[in-house]
Amino acid sequence: MTSWAHGRSVLVTGGTQGIGKVVAEQFLALGAAVTITGTRTRVECYDDPPEGAAYIQADLTWPEARAEIAAHIDSLDVLVNNAGRGSANEYQQDEFEQIIDTNLNAVMDLSVRLHPLLKETRGSIVNVGSLASFLALKETPAYTASKAGLLGLTRALGDKWATDGVRVNLVAPGFIATRMTEGARQNPEREKRLMKAIPMQRWGDPAEVASAILFLASPAASYITGQSLAIDGGLMLR
């Protein structure tokens, strides 16, 4: 039996590591043609990149890089806007603005640039938000603002492009075992505190976020648009 994703074209920004990498791998396993982006010069610069994906070097903070990505893609069924970052200096204005550029402005720009291709295939977009789309993370105001902004953008684009058959949704991962959360996982005190806040009492696995992204991109979700799905082991309930 061939899967729904067989032969489909998929672009995963930041698909070299963490959640994005597993998304790329799950699409590849279904027979999709997957392109990933990363900031490093060559894909070999990453420890363990997904095998079989095409690679484009692009730092999405910059409009030129976004234009470059769009120029490389000639057919598209699924766009996963996964690339994102936070920093320790988000109360510095230039850093704040750069993070908004990477996490929010780049998503808008890339989505608009690729919308004509998605319209042709009646494809869909899945944005990777965060629990910060809904809650305050006080040490990272730019990350929080960008991810909350992404939620609003998901709703606006979902409404705007519905008539083109292009669906737009968001996943909101909680605490997932990736490089971004390595610090907390190596600090037993902090980890204990965090686990107390999660009804399921464990870290999420990147594969558990990836599977939700694949669902939202699939025909099983064909009547879902403008929505967000939390993958957080129940964290936001408390």
Partner 1 sequence: MGAFAGKTVLVTGGSTGIGNAAARRFLAAGARVIVTGTRASAADYAGTDGDLAGMDYHQLDQGDLAAVAVFDPGVERLDALVVSGAKVAYKRAEFIPEIFADVLATNLTGPMALAMKFRAALAAAKGSIIFVGSVASFRGTIGQPAYSASKGGLLTLTRTLAQALGGEGIRVNLVAPGLVRSKMTAITWEHPDRLAATERQVPLGRIGEPDDIAGPIYFLASDAARYVTGTSLVIDGGLSA
Name the residues that contact partner 1, by CB under 8 A. Answer: 155, 158-159, 162-163, 165, 167, 174, 199-201, 204-205, 208-209, 211-212, 214-215, 218-227, 229-234, 236-238
Name which of 79 and 209 has its Cβ closer to partner 1.
Answer: 209
Tokens 């965090």 locate to: 194
Out of 46, 55, 91, 143, the active site residue is 143
Q: Indicate left, alpha or beta for 173 from its phi (over 0: left) and psi (-120 to 50: alpha).
A: beta
Question: Closest distance between partner 1 and the C-beta of residue 9, in Å?
Answer: 22
Question: Closest distance between partner 1 and the C-beta of residue 195, in Å?
Answer: 12
Question: Closest distance between partner 1 and the C-beta of residue 83, in Å?
Answer: 22
Nearest to 176 by CA among 184, 168, 165, 164: 184
Question: Closest distance between partner 1 and the C-beta of residue 221, in Å?
Answer: 6
Helix (H) or strand (E) holding 57: strand 54-57
Name which of 38 and 206 has its Cβ closer to partner 1.
Answer: 206
Name which of 46 and 119 has its Cβ closer to partner 1.
Answer: 119
- The rounded distance, in Å, linking the Cα atoms of 146 and 127 is 12
User: Active-site residue 143, yes or no?
Assistant: yes
Residues facing 170 on adjacent strands: 127, 228
Nearest to 78 by CA among 13, 174, 171, 147: 13
Name which of 99 and 151 has its Cβ closer to partner 1.
Answer: 151
| 3 state SS of 45 | helix
Residues labelled catalytic: 143
